[in-house]
Amino acid sequence: MLEVSHILLLVFLILASYIQASTGFAFALVVMSGVTAFDLAPIEITAFVVSFLSLVNSSIGLQGRLWRKVDKTALCYLLVPCVPATFLGVYLLAYFGESQLALLKFILGFCILISSLAMLIKVNEKTFKTSNFTYVLSGLISGVMGGMFAAFGPPMTYIMYRQNINLETIRATLLMAFTFTSVIRLGFVLTTQEVSEHAYFLSVLGIPVVILATLAVRYFPLPISSKRMKQFVYLILFTSGFSLILQAF
């Protein structure tokens, strides 16, 4: 029988799935922020559910040949350092656990907030060049954040949305990155830790709504311009980061 907490979780999953399918990111941010704000589940369980359902969301979002638009060079530079950093993040989550939940919320919120504020810095996108080192650093930070909270998005999103490329390429690259990182995190957790039945239950419960919400983007896309989409992304990052920092106190 569904409880109120389950219904709230499903609402966050619907919202997160639609936003990620539209922008290429934000699934973990929306779900983690909502679940921790309402104390719906322990952070370890939430991170597992987010990883599993993010994989479902990203895989569906890449259908329709969107995967062909992936920036392969950017994807490689992001993923190579992200893999070992993800292992470190999972270890840190297990080490700190619920005993240091406030600290974990603050760290995640601070990282997200910095990413969103950095995006407000004006640059000439036509001449803006991102060095390979910047991609690698972004991958490292994303890995640690993703390992701890299943929230790989903010650093990668910051880098990709600063590039002078079309939104489809940005969205495809991010979705492909999250597909790989979700598989990596899930595989590592399943082989090194004991996953509770509750985590499996919530993951299975969320599959139908994630699929439907992701497919809905194809028929009911956000009616906004490229510029407005980027502003929407900045707003999601800032709101999520600020919310988590407040929850830490």
Q: What are the pLDDT digits (tens) for 164-185?
A: 888 889 889 998 998 999 999 9
pLDDT at 19: 82
- 188 band by pLDDT with thresholds 50, 70 and 90: very high
Its sign, for the CA torsion 23, 27, 32, 35, is: positive
Of 238, 12, 45, the residue nearest 149 (C-alpha): 45
Single-letter residue type at 149: F
C-alpha–C-alpha distance, residues 110 and 103, integer Å: 10
Taking the CA atoms of residue 55, residue 59, residue 61 and residue 62 in that order, the dihedral angle to the nearest 10 degrees is 140
Q: What is the mean pLDDT of the chain?
A: 83
Out of 38-52, 60-74, 154-168, 174-188, give the one with best mean pLDDT. 174-188
More confident residue, 192 or 233: 192
pTM: 0.81
Question: Residue 41, Cβ neighbours under 10 Å: how many?
Answer: 20
Stretch 227-239: mean pLDDT, rounded? 73
Q: CB-hemisphere CA count at 13 Å for 118?
A: 17
Residue 129 DSSP label: -
C-alpha–C-alpha distance, residues 189 and 7, integer Å: 26
Tally the domains of the chain. 1
Which structural domain, as residue segments, surrounds residue 100?
4-247
